[in-house]
Structures are given as C-alpha cells and as structure tokens.
Structure 1
Amino acid sequence: MSGPLLEVRDLHVHFPISRSFPFAPKRTLKAVQGVSLTLNQGECLSIVGESGCGKSTTALTIMGLQEPTSGEILFKGKPLTGPNAPARKDRARIAQMVFQDPYASLNPRQTIGRMLSSQLALHGIASGSDANHRVAEMLTRVGLTPDHANRFPHEFSGGQRQRIGIARALMLDPKILVLDEPVSALDVSIQAQVINLLMDLQETLKLSYIMISHDLSVVEHVSDRVAVMYFGRVVEEGHWHSIFSRPTHPYTRRLIGSVPDPDAVLTGARPVPDAEHLPSDAIFFPDLSHPADPHVEDAPSHLVPIGPDHRVRLAK
C-alpha cells in the first residue's frame, strides 16, 4: 500500500461553553486546533501531553465518537468524515478502541461470551456455534481460556478485564486500535503483561496503534513515532528516539523532564507548566509572550522539519 494508512488533516474540534447568565457573550472551548497526523501500516503512534491538551478528544474524533468542527480524517485515502463518510457500522470494522477503565467499558449484565459474540451477529459475520468458536479463539489469543466466556465482568481482575476489552476490540478484525491509556488503571505488575500482549498482537495481526498516554516510560517502550500535544496543537512530532534523545520544543523538554528522576536536581529538570501559569519563556506560538491567552489565533498551522523524521512548532 502506498501512502499512510490513516491521515488526520487540520483537525479542529470546538465546544460551546454554557453562558453564566442569559446575555453573556458566547464562548467556545477550542479543544483541538489544527492537528495533522499520519499513521502508517503496522506502526504505533503515541499522542502524549498533560490532561486537557486535547489528545483524548482527537482520539474520539478519529473513532467517530465526536464530530469534528472542521478538518479531514482519511483511511487509505478515503474520507471518514463529511458527506462521503462510511456509516458508523462500517467504520467499526476499520478502527476499534480499548478504553482506560476496563470495568466501566464492559456491560455488567452480560456474560463475556455474549458481549463478544453480539458484535459478530450485528455485522453479519457469524452466529451460533461459529460465533462461539470465534469467541473462544479470541479469548485464548489474549491469554484467557474459553470457559471465561460464561462469566460476568465482576468475576475478573483488572488485568483480565483489560484483556477482555482487547479481545472485544479485535472481534471485527479492525486495522487500527486506538488505545486510550490502556494500562494506567492497572497495577504496575500487570502493566507489563498487557503491554507485551499488545505488542505481540500488533506483530501477529499486523495492527496499527494510536496510543493515548501520559506515561512516557510506556510510550518510549512501545512507540514508533510520538506526537506531543499542548493546548490542542501538536508542538513536536517524530521518531520516538529522536523525540526522547533530542527534545526541541520547550514543552517537550519539560514534559520529559517531569518524569521522576533521582538526578532531577542535577539535570535541572523543571515541572510541567499548567494552563493558568504558563512560563514567560514558553515559545509555543509566535505571540505567546502573553501567557494569559495561549489560544492565539495566528499560530502557524505547520511543523518545521529539523531532521529526517522530526518536526517541531517554533516561534517565527
């Protein structure tokens, strides 16, 4: 296949803010502002940033769970948004999501077998004994056993529930998995097992991943490329090794510097800034010398190449 598997072009997602009183001026929260990304076949693209930066909104929009204000999302060159977009039922066979909280994403009233097999029946793929066989096969693939199909979600541990969530996401043979903090709700001892499972599945099934995460140790371990988001914009993007070894944008440097390090005092690492207290030297956009208004309108919409696979948004 020539070209990227998935393209996000100049994506904007805005939300109206409720008025505090009837005649108050209308306000808009610009959660995503001009995000452009590419995902190639078989790779893992991680989107990182602190809470509120827009990474989860971007993921939900890619999944079709949130309507974009403007911009395009294309799969193999064909639009997933707009008047020519496929129906949601068809889109479900392109991309599936693994959610952060494995228990909240499962129906407590249904057995695991019924949850998994219902997708096959809905899409006309299999039913009856064929569906049951496929469910057993998928449970085995994610490290569970076929008899687990007869149990309910509350009978499993957190790690097992996330394996069930992964199995559910794979039932329709999607090309892309969107992983929204897939291990953040798990014990540290279980995180490595789930991450290794995801990597094995990626290689075996030729999957492509978009991972949303704030855990940079996980990102460094599993990613091919990394996109760093800040206030709804991608401020740096490139190969994981280039991002971690040569972070260029001030926010990227501080994000990496915020990782707990016993030598942090010696290396001069500084905490990540928050939305209300931006540092005076935060050169995120041309006129961000005014920290009170980070959502400037005339920010450049493109990243500047600084290496073979490394781009950064810098001030003019």
Structure 2
Amino acid sequence: MSAAPDPAGAPILKVEDLHVRFPVSGGLLGRKRTLHAVSGVDLSVQPGQCLSLVGESGCGKSTTALAIMGLQPPSSGAITVEGRPVYGPGAPDRRARARLAQIVFQDPFSTLNPRETVGRALSQPLMLHGVRSRAERAERVATALRQVGLLPEHAARYPHEFSGGQRQRIGIARALILGPRLIVLDEPVSALDVSIRAQIINLLMDLQQNLGLSYLMISHDLGVVEHVSDRVAVMFAGQIVEEGGWREVFTAPAHPYTRRLIETIPNPARLTGGASEILPPAPEPPSGSIFWPPVDRRPDISQPPEPSALVSIGEDHRARVRPV
C-alpha cells in the first residue's frame, strides 16, 4: 500500500451523488421501467492512493467505472478528475480525458487487436496525441514495456504470442503510455491464473510507488483488495453501504453485507483445524436507525432507493443507515 496521502489535499478523483439509470422494457405488455444501476454514489481518491470498490457481480461497480471514464453518461451527479469535470460545461474532450485517466480491463486479450503488433497498439495513442516522431514513439513504447517487465523487442510480436499475464502487462503499458495520474483497474487479475496474480499485483504496487499513480480498483476478490488498498468502499444494489480505511473495514465491518463478504475470504485455519479468526461483534447503528439496505433480500432496483445516509461508525469509517 502507498504512503498515506494528505487528507487535506485536493482529491484526484471526486464523484458526487452519481446516478445511472437505464430504461428497460419487459412483461407481456412491454411496459417501460427504469433500472437504477447506480444510486447516489459518492467517492474520492487522493493523489497516490488506492481506493477499492468491492461488491458482488451486478452491484454497479463497473457501471460506476465506465461513468468515471466518460464511457457511460450519468443520469445525474458530478465527476471531476484533477479538478476538471468529466461531463457538462468545461469538460475536456475525449483526447484530453485520455491524458487524465486510463482504464485496465479484466480481459486483456479482448481489448487488443489480434492483427496489430504490440508496438502499433501502444504507439497509436501517441500518434493521436500529436507525437509525430517515429523515433520518439518507439522510445516511449520501449520505456512502457520495460516499466511493466517486458522487453522492447516484444513490440514486434502479436497478442496471441503472449501468455495471459503478459497480455495484462501490455494492457497496463497501454494505460501508462500517455502518462495519466489516475488508473481505473476493472478486475485486473480475476482472469489470470492464481500463480500470476501476485506478480501483476506486485507490478501495480511498484508502478504506483515509482510513478505516483492513483488507483480506483474494481474487484470482488477481497484477498487482493486487502493487500493493495488504502481505502475500501463496499457497494450493494447500486449504493455504497460502507466505506473507510481498509483496516477499519476489514477488522470491524459494520454493515451486514460487508460482514458477509469478508466471511467468504478463504481462511486456511478452517482447513487445517487451527484457530480461525472471528470477526468482532458488529457495532450498533446510531439510535433510531438501522443498517440499510437489508441483505436478506435484494432491493428492487427498478424502484428508486429509499432515503438513507452514510453516517460515522468510527474514525475514518462510515456505513449506510436509514432512520426508523
């Protein structure tokens, strides 16, 4: 994990009251409904920090990431990267946004053109951003490949000539080629063999330290999240239900959904018969409220979410509650 950033500094990423809704139709009469995929999400990432957004499939993590990258227009809310709005008046164009933030996807092979060499895939963004010198492009491609543990001569090869871990390194190199300060990591190791995951995670941590990068990591693997994160935000049914420093969230989870997620982390002690670590009792929500939303049933996300708020549970630790 990176050194703790200055909490008083301006965040490199700020998301305020983000809503993403999709019109859907179904049923015998084809009546139109609204799917509330993301509802009232607030996030911030400080320079040099890694914030992990965790939750089960379908909770809205990747939709949030796409909105941050400018690939999914929000229904309402505000997103700024380095103080510049991603949408609305004053928002930079796509080329300028690419220099502010980049994304590394889950499956690197599907994001690479099988008919293009790695060198061409990495040099095309440079050409689009005005680097006309062929020698300069070749040098920057070679530098990016070295940064991710590959060799400059790999630029002449095609994607099918690489292993899954090497292709993910290429995807990381492509994200770095324009020099952004914010990288969105969408399940960056979930498609890799277990033996390769640690190598890629260590690479990402080294790059963060050496290049001063900030990460927003989208993941459902809490073992990875615990290893690399400075802060954690837990998402359920389109809402952030708990957020705080990784230690506070993992050692004293408050929301019932967070506790369920943490209990799914494999514990070797349970297999060997040793003493397994037991979570401490959950803190009580503030008087006159309950943790929200309930996890015994998934909320109907075709309906607007009920009013609730993230309230302080402890130092640098908040959870969502609803008055009763």
TM-score (structure 2 length as normaliser): 0.87
Q: Which residue of structure 2 aligns with residue 276 of structure 1?
A: none
Q: CA deviation at 1:68?
A: 0.4
- What is the alpha-carbon distance in structure 2 between the residues aligned to residue 15 and residue 297 of structure 1? 12
Q: Of the candidates 70, 80, 84, which is equivalent to residue 78 of structure 1? A: 84
Question: Equivalent residue for 2:4?
Answer: none
The structure 2 residue matched to 1:58, chosen from 52, 61, 64, is 64
Query: In the superposition, relative to structure 1, how do residues 125 and 190 fare at CA in structure 2: closer, same or farther (>3 Å)?
Result: same
Deviations 1:115-162 (A, max 9, x none): 101110100135311100111111111100010000000000001000
Shift of 1:42: 0.3
Residues 1:216 and 2:222 are matched in the alignment: yes
- Once the two structures are overlaid, the 10-residue window that deviates more, 126-135 or 107-116, is 126-135
Asked if 1:154 corresponds to 2:160, the answer is yes
Looking at structure 2, the residues matched to 213 and 290 of structure 1 have their Cα atoms a distance apart, in angstroms, of: 22
Tell me the distance in 2 between the aligned counterparts of 1:53 and 1:133. 41
- Report SS of the residue matched to 2:18: strand
| Residues 79-158 of structure 1: pairs in structure 2 closer than 5 A | 79-158=85-164
| Contact 1:177–1:207 (8 Å) recurs in 2 | yes
Question: Which residue of 265, 279, 284 corresponds with 2:292?
Answer: 284
Q: Quick check: 1:186 aligned with 2:202? A: no
Q: Distance in 1 between matches of 2:84 and 2:312?
A: 27
- Out of 23, 28, 32, the position equivalent to 1:16 is 23
Matched, 1:307 2:314: yes
User: What TM-score do the two structures reach when normalised by structure 1?
Assistant: 0.90
**Correspondence for 1:169 among 175, 184, 189:** 175
Q: 2:36 aligns with which of 25, 30, 33?
A: 30
The C-alpha deviation readout for 1:233-271, integer Å capped at 9, x for no partner, is 0000000000000000000001101223353997789xx
* 1:9/1:73 contact within 8 Å kept: yes
Partner in structure 2 of residue 277 of structure 1: none
Match of 2:51 in 1: 45
Q: Do the aligned partners of 1:117 and 1:127 also contact (CA within 8 Å) in 2? A: no
Sequence identity of aligned pairs in percent?
59
Gaps in structure 1 of 5+ consecutive residues: 270-281
- 8 A contact 1:7–1:74 mirrored in 2: yes
Q: 1:207-256 CA distances to partner (integer Å, 9 max, x unpaired)?
A: 00000011101000000000000000000000000000000000000110
Q: List gaps (5 residues or longer) in structure 2.
A: 1-7, 280-289
The answer for the alignment partner of 2:10 in structure 1 is: 3
Displacement of 1:84: 2.4
Are the equivalent residues in 1 in contact too, given 2:12–2:81 (CA < 8 A)? yes
State the partner residue of 1:279: none
SS at match of 2:242: strand
**C-alpha contact 2:292 2:308 (8 A) present in aligned 1:** no
AA in 2 matched with 1:284: W
* SS of 1:315 mapped into structure 2: strand
1:292–1:172 distance in 2 versus 1, CA, 3 Å: closer
What pairs up with 1:251-290 in 2 under 5 angstroms? 251-261=257-267, 263=270, 283-285=291-293, 288=294
Distance 1:146 1:289, change over 3 A: closer
Q: Which amino acid aligns with 2:93?
A: A
Alpha-carbon offset, residue 20 of structure 1: 4.0
Looking at structure 2, the residues matched to 35 and 283 of structure 1 have their Cα atoms a distance apart, in angstroms, of: 17
Distance 1:25 1:187, change over 3 A: same
Q: Distance in 2 between matches of 1:49 and 1:312?
A: 14
**CA–CA distance in structure 2, aligned partners of residues 293 and 46 of structure 1:** 23
Alignment of 1:230 onto 2:233:
no
Change (3 A) 1:193 1:268: closer
User: Residue by residue, what CA displacement relative to the aligned partner does 1:2-29 show, whole Å, maximum 9, x if unpaired?
Assistant: 32111000000011113345x4321111
Measure, in 2, the Cα distance between the counterparts of 1:290 and 1:143: 46
Aligned length: 301
Structural RMSD (CA): 2.2
1:278: which partner in 2?
A: none
Contact preservation (8 Å) 1:16, 1:26: yes
